[in-house]
Amino acid sequence: MNMMITNRDRLLLAARELFLEHGYDASVDAIIAHAGVARQTFYNHFRNKESLFAEVVRDCFLDVIAPLNEHPDELRQSLLIFAQAYRQRALSPAGVSSYRVLSGQAQRFPALVREAYTMGAGQIIERLASFLRMAMEEKKLLDADPVFAAEMLMAMVVGQERTHLLFGIQRKPEDEQRKMEYVVDGFLRMFAPQCGI
């Protein structure tokens, strides 16, 4: 009910931006400057830099939703929608940056990074896997480990492009839509129930 933007919000927003851009190396000085707030104000709202980081990380992963089980009968269409949405999110600047930052801080903050993964990609895998399990039970897909199948699909959706973005490799623009159709059709052929090898 309170629309006021507090200094706390300003700090969280600024920290989010700077952490995504510079990783945990973003200095407290830079964060308070970017938030337009005094040094002491920061320490009024947060115990220290570490707890601010933790809060930013937890905030980032609240809004991870996988658009699935919308068309439970049209398998190909459902997977296509999922693939495009997941790809868009995973390869977005924020997605790539948070991947970079979290993997970089996995040693310093093991529990936090595990938590972020569980809340983010972990959730998505689980949902996709249970969706695929349903399709397998309905004999629309070859019987297999649904988690394995989910991981294969997600791996193909992201492909080498996350690595390219992480490493700053230029890539010629592609037809995203078409590519995702290739991937989903390939996946369906891979797990097609009729073709039995």
Task: Point out which residues bind DNA (CB under 7 A).
Answer: 6-7, 27-30, 36-41, 43-45, 48-50
* Identity of the residue, 29 or 74, whose beta carbon is nearer to DNA in the bound complex: 29
- Answer yes or no whether residue 67 interacts with its own copies by CB under 8 A: no
Residue 47 and residue 21: Cα distance in Å, rounded? 23
Residue 157 tokens read as 């959706």
Q: What, of DNA, its own copies, none, does residue 28 touch, CB below 5 to 8 Å by kind?
A: DNA
Per-residue interface string for the shown chain with its own copies, residues 129-158, x marking contact by CB under 8 A: ---------------x---x--xx-xxx-x
Q: In whole angstroms, what separates CA 8 from the centre of its chain?
A: 25
Asked whether position 197 contacts its own copies by CB under 8 A, the answer is yes
Determine whether 82 is exposed, middle or buried from the number of CB atoms within 10 Å of its CB (0-12, 13-18, 19+). buried
Q: Which stretch binds its own copies (CB under 8 A): 27-35, 49-57, 59-67, 175-183?
A: 175-183
- 184 burial type by CB count under 10 A (0-12 exposed, 13-18 middle, 19+ buried): buried
Binding flag, residue 166, its own copies (CB under 8 A): yes
> Cβ closer to DNA: 44 or 177?
44
For residue 183, state whether it binds its own copies (rule: CB under 8 A): yes
CA pair distance 141, 158, nearest whole angstrom: 22
When the beta carbons of 40 and 107 are compared against its own copies, the nearer one is: 107
Return the number of the residue (53 or 82) whose C-beta is nearest DNA: 53
Residue/partner pairs of 13-22 with CB below 8 Å, 24 or more apart: 15/52, 15/53, 15/56, 16/56, 16/59, 16/60, 19/53, 19/56, 19/101, 20/93, 20/94, 20/97, 20/98, 20/101, 21/97
Read off the amino acid at residue 127.
R
Where on the chain is the footprint of its own copies (CB under 8 A)?
22-23, 99-100, 102-104, 106-107, 110, 113-114, 116-117, 121, 125, 144, 148, 151-152, 154-156, 158-160, 163-164, 166-169, 179, 182-183, 185-187, 189-192, 195, 197
